[in-house]
Amino acid sequence: MEPLQQNARATARGDRRRVFVTGLGAVTPIGNTRDDFWRALVAGESGIAPITAFDASDFTTRFAGEVKDFGVEQIIGKKEARRMDRFAQFAFVAARQAIEDAKFPVDDAEVCRRVGAVIGTGIGGILTFWHQAERAREQQSWAKASPFFIPMLMANAAPAHVSMTYGFKGPFFSTASACASANDAIATAYNLVAHGDCIAMITGGTEAVVSPLAIGGFCSMRAMSTRNDDPARASRPFDRERDGFVLGEGSGVLLLEEAEHARSRGAHVYAELLGYGQSADAYDIVAPDPEGDGIYLALQRACESAGISPNEVDYINAHGTSTPMGDPPESKAIERYFGEHAYRIGVSSTKSMTGHALGAAGGIEGVATALAVSNDVMPPTINYEYPDPECTLDYVPNVARQACVRIALSNGFGFGGHNCVIVFGKVR
């Protein structure tokens, strides 16, 4: 790095502590561990298939990115599993993976007093809501709801279970900003570590919404792909033939740790979290601003927060939902902010393989982006066949690319116009 760039980064950070990513966990449609997830991403494997959770034959969309072979009872025990909604189960398992991956000293009570958890979710325990409503309808009474109904439904159940299990006594809560929820959680967790409030934070996102209620709602919005004859090729971000997003589920969790603490215990470091940028579209409750102005501001603020110049960015894990309205504004904003350098950046959407996991998306993609930095590999955008004249960037089509990834961004945008961009970098 040039001296001027080093000085700019130091000025932007001020007195913030450095924050390292030392643990990763993933429960996804293409793998239920970090290693399985990464192997499938690099191989370009699709996790999209016909829905198995319920009979979807009456719906206009009959496929999704479901988590497969999730033996939660064997992992956390039957009793505990029954007291968690599926979204909290996903987060708990991914968090445990991240903690074990980091070899974090959970037996040190003093350290655990300064560890927190912020895990985003867009919708929370909708499966519990659906099952309890069905039970009440069958029994023709609301009086016999499960005593665990509210604790399973509430969005903060995911970080709560992590805190209680490990004795973490720092701040713990959930963020809810639709599909930007996980990115906002990561940004919040970063601040708590960077400003010295916590030694480490468990953060990311989780979601489990593959249910008749959610599928029905999205079908009514006409937001999802209806490529029922070829589900594996339905999620095709930035491709001219895209016809809507594909619903996914799962969880991605990162362990963020104060740099000196990580170094003092010899922790393996995947990447450094350098900063973030947030903004609002101030445009529409569902549709993104077609000009991408809010996205432009989030990109600008992210790079300024990290103290980097736009020309230092090598890779962007795009929000890239595969919707006709969503992909062009993101491409337009990247072109506008990065200028000619935009065409030298690898831009891929891993949603082409996992589907769109809503509030979990930024967690899953944060894990992918940290691994891209660590391994110098850009995951592909699969199903990219027909270039769209409105989307003219390098989308790493169909095949993963070995390339130096020094600085990478992870984009997350949500209904309501929420935008959050996270900046990852190699540790120097």
User: pLDDT per residue over 322-334, tens digit each?
Assistant: 999 999 999 999 9
**Residue 47, burial from CB neighbour count under 10 angstroms (0-12, 13-18, 19+):** buried
Read off the pLDDT band of 2 (50, 70, 90). very low
Q: How many CA atoms lie within 13 A of 156 on its CB side?
A: 9
Q: Which domain holds residue 333?
A: 275-425
Gap between the Cα atoms of 98 and 427, Å rounded: 19
Taking a C-beta distance cutoff of 8 angstroms, is the pair 422, 409 a contact?
yes
pLDDT per residue over 209-234, tens digit each? 999 999 999 999 999 999 999 999 99
Q: What is the pLDDT of residue 40?
A: 98
Q: Do residues 113 and 176 both lie within one domain?
A: yes
* Whole-number pLDDT of residue 7: 45
Q: Is 179 a catalytic residue?
A: yes
Of 264, 293, 314, the position where a domain reaches its end is 264
Per-residue model confidence (pLDDT) at position 8: 46
DSSP assignment of 305-340: HHT--GGG--EEE------TTTHHHHHHHHHHHHGG
Residue 2 vs residue 160, higher pLDDT = 160
At 413, is the secondary structure helix, strand, or coil? strand
Tell whether 248 and 279 lie within a shared domain. no
Domain co-membership, 279 together with 260? no
The pLDDT value given to residue 417 = 97
Type and span of the H or E element at 294: helix 293-306
Contact criterion met (CB below 8 Å) for 114 and 257: no
Residues 166 and 228 occupy one common structural domain: yes
pLDDT on residue 363:
98
pLDDT digits (tens, 9 = 90+) for 112-156: 999 999 999 999 999 999 889 888 888 888 888 888 999 999 999
Structure tokens at 364: 């899953």
- Statement to judge: residues 200 and 57 lie in one domain: yes
pLDDT band at 14 (very low <50, low <70, confident <90, very high): low
Give all strands (DSSP E) within 14-164, no chain letters.
19-27, 49-50, 63-64, 115-120
Same-domain pairing of 167 and 141: yes
Q: Looking at the structure, do residues 206 and 282 belong to the same domain, yes or no?
A: no
Same domain, 73 and 200: yes
What pLDDT was estimated at residue 3?
42
pLDDT at 11: 47
Q: Are 244 and 338 members of one domain?
A: no
Q: Given the residues 179, 219, 303, 391, select the one marked as catalytic.
A: 179
Query: Strand 418-425 vs strand 407-414: parallel, antiparallel, or unpaired?
Result: antiparallel
Write the pLDDT tens digit of every residue in 378-417: 999 999 999 999 999 999 999 999 999 999 999 999 999 9
pLDDT of residue 359: 98
Task: Please indicate, yes or no, if residue 181 is contained in any of the structural domains.
Answer: yes
Strand partners, 207: 250
- Rounded to whole angstroms, how far apart are CA atoms 319 and 326? 9
User: Is position 269 within any domain?
Assistant: no
Q: Identify whether 161 is a catalytic site residue.
A: no
d(CA 251, CA 88): 9
Cβ-in-10-Å burial (0-12, 13-18, 19+) of 111 comes to: middle
**The pLDDT of residue 78 is above 90:** no
Q: Other CB atoms closer than 10 Å to residue 321's CB: what's the count?
A: 26
**Which of 319, 391, 418, 420 does the annotation list as catalytic?**
319
Confidence of residue 75 (pLDDT cuts 50, 70, 90): confident
Residue 380 CA to residue 396 CA, distance in Å, equals 5
Last residue of a domain, one of 264, 291, 314: 264
Active-site entry in 356, 391, 418, 420? 356
Pick the range with the lowest mean pLDDT from 46-60, 138-152, 178-192: 138-152
DSSP lists the bridge partners of residue 414 as 418
- Would you state the pLDDT for residue 142? 81
A 10 A CB-CB count for 312 gives 18
Mean pLDDT of the chain: 95
Query: Do 158 and 222 lie in a common domain?
Result: yes
- 377 lies in some domain: yes
Residues 57 and 78 in one domain: yes
Is 158 domain-assigned? yes
Q: What is the pLDDT of residues 22-44, one digit of tens each?
A: 999 999 999 999 999 999 999 99
**Does residue 231 belong to any structural domain of this protein?**
yes
Query: Which CATH number belongs to the domain containing residue 379 in this structure?
Result: 3.40.47.10
CA separation, residue 176 to residues 25, 116, 124, 266 (Å): 21, 17, 9, 34
- The answer to whether residue 4 is domain-embedded is no
Q: What is the DSSP string of 261-288?
A: HHHHTT----EEEEEEEEEE--S-SSSP
Number of structural domains found in the chain: 2
The Cα–Cα gap between 241 and 196 comes to 48
Mean pLDDT for the stretch of residues 85-110: 97
Decide if 216 is inside a domain.
yes
Instruction: State which of 201, 233, 264 marks the end of a domain.
Output: 264
Q: How far apart are CA 256 and CA 273, in angstroms?
A: 8
Q: Is-catalytic flag, 341?
A: no
Residue 368's CB is within 10 A of a number of other CB atoms, namely 27
Is residue 133 within 8 A of residue 211, CB to CB? The reply is no
Do 234 and 292 belong to one domain?
no
